[in-house]
Structure 1
Amino acid sequence: MRFVRRTDRKARQAARAALPDLIELVIIGVRAGLTPSAAFTMSAEHAAPSLGPALDAVAHEMQRGRRLSDALAVLPQFLGADAGFFTDALITADRYGLPLGPMLDQLGAEVRADRSRQAQRHARTLPVKLSFPLVVCTLPSFVLLAIAPAVLGAVSTITGS
């Protein structure tokens, strides 16, 4: 049971990590002149495999004859609140015919900034993670190669006189 929960949690984390790529794919599709539903369908075909179950659920709903705005209600159930702004933008554009480009441009900028912040946060933790190998491997070698010969030379000089 615990293994299933851990696997499910890892799958959801991988899907959340792939969400910015899906947003970028939808932006590319909309900029290419596709309708929101066609852009989403095209994006689902090229998205990361970790998004598969969520996108399959949306595609299944659309194949059953539901509009994109109705089918996207399933997406936040799989991806959590992270997908909320994305689905809201697509639902608004699909229901009311609002221009999707400016909303997706703003969302894309926010997603890229968030991804940059996460990368910087990860980069800041790297020195902490590397401190243990540095202390365990490098410090003893430094002692053996630099300090031990100096101490042995000093001891031999003192005992030799």
Structure 2
Amino acid sequence: MRLLLLAIVGLSAGVIVHQGALFLRYVLQVEAERRRQVAEALGVVGGEAPRRWKRELLGRGSIAGLRKAHERLIERAGQEVVIGFAEFVAISLGFAAIAAVGSSLVGVAAIPSLLLAVIAGSLPWLWLRHRAAKRCNEITRLLPGFMDLLVLSVESGLDFTSGVERIIERATPSALTEEMRMVLLEIRLGATRRGALRNLADRLRIGEVRTLASAIIQADRYGVPLGRTLRMQSEQVRAKRFQRAEERAGRAAVLISLPTVLFLVPCVFLILVGPYVPEVMRSLESGF
């Protein structure tokens, strides 16, 4: 029994690592082209960033890739989630071991126990991805209002850094203010505004944030007034927000149709056909 449990735990751990590596490679392949496009927009084509991304895509092993994915998820999840890679893997393996041992003790077969161990080992990763996605959704939701305030600040005579600092001081603490505070901290520590915005776009991987960072960088490079650039980006972000709301409304109509078909149509059928059932039954009995 002990050997069986150890085999199940070891096999589940191997499956978790292997499947995670395969999934990570697929994600990296999808993100490679998007990363290249962002690099072109930010003016770093042919530089170190695309080559470094290529090395990450092709030259890293499975463990190193999982470590990198964990670091990026931690960055997106914010400062509230601080779990090292070794601790996180230990938690995942612990969940898998508990599921394997518990299912074996209650008499579950080996294959279902293995499946339960794999699912349990994946729960910490799913939780971390959920936290990261939730935080990014919050940033996307708050970004239009933040940009409107930034437009007013810049058009009233403040520069970008002073405007962001003024908004952060008076705004309610949120994920967006936390990220913008990190941008200000990088600038104060000696980074350029362009570099801080690049780090922000690379850290969050949100389309609207990437577009905003690219627009501000291009405005600095070509001397375009920052207020006009921010106003245009604010309008675009708000338009995308309404577009996403319309898409969600369209999906809601499709989702509502399924329970309607499953529950309402049978009731209507019973109401229409039910009164004729006794007559049909009597006709069948008299016929026989």
TM-score normalized by structure 1?
A: 0.73
Aligned counterpart, 2:147: 26
- Looking at structure 1, the residues matched to 162 and 149 of structure 2 have their Cα atoms a distance apart, in angstroms, of 11
Q: CA-to-partner distance for each residue in 1:40-66, whole Å, 9 max, x for gaps? A: 234445377343653343233234354
- Sequence identity (%): 25
Query: Kindly tell me: are residues 68 and 138 of structure 1, through their superposed partners in 2, closer, same or farther at Cα, counting changes over 3 Å?
Result: same
Deviation at 1:148, TM superposition (A): 0.6
Aligned counterpart, 2:261: 135
Aligned counterpart, 1:73: 198
Amino acid at match of 2:215: A
Aligned counterpart, 2:85: none
Query: Kindly tell me: are residues 31 and 127 of structure 1, through their superposed partners in 2, closer, same or farther at Cα, counting changes over 3 Å?
Result: same
Q: Retained in 2: the 8 A contact 1:22–1:47? A: no
Amino acid at match of 1:60: L
Query: Kindly tell me: are residues 25 and 63 of structure 1, through their superposed partners in 2, closer, same or farther at Cα, counting changes over 3 Å?
Result: same
Query: Kindly tell me: are residues 79 and 151 of structure 1, through their superposed partners in 2, closer, same or farther at Cα, counting changes over 3 Å?
Result: same
Query: Kindly tell me: are residues 48 and 19 of structure 1, through their superposed partners in 2, closer, same or farther at Cα, counting changes over 3 Å?
Result: farther
Amino acid at match of 2:143: L
Unpaired runs of at least 5, structure 2: 1-91, 93-121
Aligned counterpart, 2:272: 146
Aligned ranges for residues 53-92 of structure 1 at < 5 Å?
54-80=179-205, 82=207, 83-92=209-218
**1:155 is aligned to 2:280:** yes
Q: Retained in 2: the 8 A contact 1:93–1:99? A: yes
Q: Retained in 2: the 8 A contact 1:26–1:43? A: no
Aligned counterpart, 1:35: 159
SS at match of 2:205: helix
Q: Retained in 2: the 8 A contact 1:27–1:101? A: no
Deviation at 1:150, TM superposition (A): 3.3
Q: 1:103 aligns with which of 229, 250, 269?
A: 229
Amino acid at match of 2:277: V
Q: CA-to-partner distance for each residue in 1:75-133, whole Å, 9 max, x for gaps? A: 01222152222113334556776421211122122212222222222222223212221
Query: Kindly tell me: are residues 59 and 80 of structure 1, through their superposed partners in 2, closer, same or farther at Cα, counting changes over 3 Å?
Result: same
**1:7 is aligned to 2:132:** no
How many residue pairs get aligned? The number is: 159
- Looking at structure 2, the residues matched to 146 and 43 of structure 1 have their Cα atoms a distance apart, in angstroms, of 63
Question: Which has the bigger relative contact order, CA under 8 A and spacing at least 6?
Answer: 1
Aligned CA-pair RMSD:
3.2
- Looking at structure 1, the residues matched to 224 and 263 of structure 2 have their Cα atoms a distance apart, in angstroms, of 60
Unpaired runs of at least 5, structure 1: none
Amino acid at match of 1:149: P
- Looking at structure 2, the residues matched to 16 and 117 of structure 1 have their Cα atoms a distance apart, in angstroms, of 18
- Looking at structure 1, the residues matched to 247 and 225 of structure 2 have their Cα atoms a distance apart, in angstroms, of 34
Range 96-105 or range 78-87, more displaced: 96-105
Query: Kindly tell me: are residues 148 and 135 of structure 1, through their superposed partners in 2, closer, same or farther at Cα, counting changes over 3 Å?
Result: same
- Looking at structure 1, the residues matched to 176 and 124 of structure 2 have their Cα atoms a distance apart, in angstroms, of 18
Query: Kindly tell me: are residues 151 and 48 of structure 1, through their superposed partners in 2, closer, same or farther at Cα, counting changes over 3 Å?
Result: farther
Task: Specify which structure has the higher proportion of helix.
Answer: 1
